[in-house]
């Protein structure tokens, strides 16, 4: 028996928002969140009862984020890295996280995706491999490389006074 | 550094999420995906769950019925595309508020009676004919339904009324004048009868 879609939103809404933030930054994350859940709601009656709702939602969010990134690439590129642009990456209300978001944005796409799907969504590497293509080992390596790069850049900033 | 879900969370997330969820309800309605919208309202007989399809009001549920179980059942029987989305329930909320305030004697809402069928639905269609502040016995309703012997079946139809308060099964009493059963409990039934007697 399928639970009401409202419960799916209540249970996974926060996770999908955080995943979208890692993939896209704060502002585009909200659009991607909305696109993900409207798309999920459309398909929900056909989702098998025993399906992993978490992996299903992350798969949809993955596709929606790619759509957003493609749309973004079609728009004229901003001139240089203006500070206003960087501040949009931060999480509203959180303090001193600018460096973290810069580091996340600096990651190669596969690493950023693998970090989001494993460390934020909590998916197994086999599930991530289904989303990204390639093997579970490749997904594991991408996540490990992503974390190593994040740690290198982000804790470098911590030495300058940012919180750990 | 610990990379976890929390690292990408924010103290403002609950506000962001409630805004996004509200927007999802609007978008789902606009795109014809919102098979069931629901909300809850406080009332003198406790918190009521109201659920509606695009056809009309589908379900009114008392706290005692366990709203989570009611939503699970609607998800199963009607559609899992079900969201808390108060907009569709605006008229129902307003009319119930007027009713409980003694300012409304009849409901003027489109109803979706698809949760009941056959004799039960026939009885539920007849119940609004019992006017505000009046009562009938189960036997009288059975006669109205054209089947004077179906007293028990009328009792079942009242007990399984998916739209209590709005479809006034509380106006049906036992022949001996005692209050009889009620989906919201005898106290709620008595409270509604008192409200209607006073107004």
- Per-residue pLDDT, averaged over B111-136, amounts to 96
- Comparing alpha-carbon positions, the chain A residue that sits nearest to B74 is A4
pTM of the shown model: 0.87
Here the tokens at position B129 are 């004919």
Answer yes or no: do A2 and B8 touch at CB < 8 A.
no
Question: CA nearest B103: which of B20, B198, B12?
Answer: B198
Question: CA nearest B65: which of B76, B44, B50, B78?
Answer: B50
For B83, the closest of A5, A119, A164 (CB atoms) is A5
Topology alike, domains B12-100 and B118-198: no
Q: Which residues of B touch A3 (CB under 8 A)?
A: 72, 75, 80
Question: CA nearest B87: which of B43, B53, B39?
Answer: B39
Here the tokens at position B51 are 């659920």
Instruction: Give the residues across from B41 on adjacent strands.
Output: B48
Residue indicated by tokens 């009676």: B113
A45 contacts chain B (CB < 8 A): yes
A92: domain CATH number is 1.20.140
A105 contacts chain B (CB < 8 A): no
Show the domain range for A115: 5-80+88-158
Q: How far is A80 from chain B (nearest CA, A)?
A: 26
Question: CA nearest B69: which of A7, A159, A39, A139?
Answer: A7
Q: Which residues of B touch A18 (CB under 8 A)?
A: 5, 8-9
Taking the C-alpha atoms of residue B129 and residue A114, their distance in angstroms, rounded to an integer, is 63
Taking the C-alpha atoms of residue A62 and residue A46, their distance in angstroms, rounded to an integer, is 19
For A38, the closest of B24, B74, B79 (CB atoms) is B24
Task: List alpha helices for chain B, DSSP H.
Answer: 13-30, 67-77, 90-100, 118-126, 138-144, 151-159, 186-198
Contacts of B54 (CB under 8 A, 6+ apart): B32, B34, B35
Here the tokens at position A33 are 């969140």
Model pLDDT for residues B21-34, shown as the tens digit of each residue: 999 999 999 999 99
> Residue B33 CA to chain centroid, in angstroms?
21
Kindly provide the ipTM of the predicted complex, given to two decimals: 0.90
CATH of domain B118-198: 1.10.10.10
Domain residue limits, chain B: 12-100, 118-198
Instruction: Tell me the helices (H) and strands (E) count for chain B, helix number first.
Output: 7, 6
Instruction: Answer yes or no: are the C-beta atoms of B173 and B137 closer than 8 Å.
Output: yes
In chain A, the N- to C-terminal Cα span, in Å, equals 44
Model pLDDT for residues B5-24, shown as the tens digit of each residue: 567 777 778 899 999 999 99
Query: How many percent of chain B have pLDDT more than 70?
Result: 96
A46 contacts chain B (CB < 8 A): no
CATH of domain B12-100: 3.30.160
For B17, the closest of A17, A45, A115 (CB atoms) is A17
Instruction: Flag whether A164 is in a domain.
Output: no
User: How many folded domains does chain A comprise?
Assistant: 1
Model pLDDT for residues A111-162, shown as the tens digit of each residue: 999 999 999 999 999 999 999 999 999 999 999 999 999 888 776 444 333 3
Instruction: Answer yes or no: are the C-beta atoms of A101 and A87 closer than 8 Å.
Output: no
Taking the C-alpha atoms of residue B68 and residue A64, their distance in angstroms, rounded to an integer, is 31
B20 contacts chain A (CB < 8 A): yes
Q: How far is B143 from chain A (nearest CA, A)?
A: 40
Instruction: Give the residues across from A48 on adjacent strands.
Output: none
- Comparing alpha-carbon positions, the chain B residue that sits nearest to A43 is B81
Residue B11 pLDDT: 77
């Amino acid at each position: 028996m399928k639970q009401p879609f409202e419960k799916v939103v209540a249970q996974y809404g926060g996770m999908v928002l955080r995943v979208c933030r890692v993939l896209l930054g704060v502002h585009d994350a909200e659009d991607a969140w909305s696109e993900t859940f409207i798309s999920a709601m459309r398909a929900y009656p056909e989702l098998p009862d025993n399906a992993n709702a978490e992996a299903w939602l992350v798969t949809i969010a993955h596709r929606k984020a790619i759509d957003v990134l493609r749309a973004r690439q079609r728009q004229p590129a901003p001139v240089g890295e203006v500070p206003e642009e960087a501040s949009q990456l931060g999480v509203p209300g959180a303090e001193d996280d600018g460096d973290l978001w810069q580091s996340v944005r600096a990651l190669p796409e596969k690493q950023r995706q693998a970090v989001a799907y494993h460390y934020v969504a909590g998916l197994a590497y086999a599930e991530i491999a289904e989303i990204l293509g390639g093997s579970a080992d490749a997904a594991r390596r991408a996540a490990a490389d992503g974390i190593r790069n994040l740690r290198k850049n982000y804790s470098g900033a911590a030495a300058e006074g940012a919180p750990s | 550094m610990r990379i976890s879900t929390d690292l990408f969370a924010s103290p403002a997330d609950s506000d962001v999420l409630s805004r996004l969820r509200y927007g999802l309800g609007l978008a789902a309605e606009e795109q014809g995906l919102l098979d069931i919208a629901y909300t809850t309202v406080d009332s003198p007989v406790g918190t009521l769950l109201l659920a509606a399809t695009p056809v009309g009001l589908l379900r009114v549920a008392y706290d005692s019925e366990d709203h989570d179980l009611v939503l699970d059942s609607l998800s199963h029987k009607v559609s899992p595309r079900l969201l808390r989305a108060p907009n569709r329930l605006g008229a129902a909320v307003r009319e119930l508020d007027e009713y409980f305030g003694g300012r409304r004697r009849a409901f003027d809402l489109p109803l979706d009676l698809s949760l009941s069928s056959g004799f039960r639905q026939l009885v539920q269609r007849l119940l609004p004919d019992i006017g505000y502040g009046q009562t009938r016995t189960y036997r009288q309703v059975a006669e109205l339904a054209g089947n004077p012997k179906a007293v028990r079946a009328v009792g079942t139809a009242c007990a399984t009324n998916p739209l209590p308060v709005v479809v006034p099964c509380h106006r049906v009493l036992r022949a001996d004048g005692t209050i009889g059963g009620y989906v919201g409990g005898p106290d709620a039934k008595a409270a509604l009868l008192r409200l209607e007697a006073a107004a």
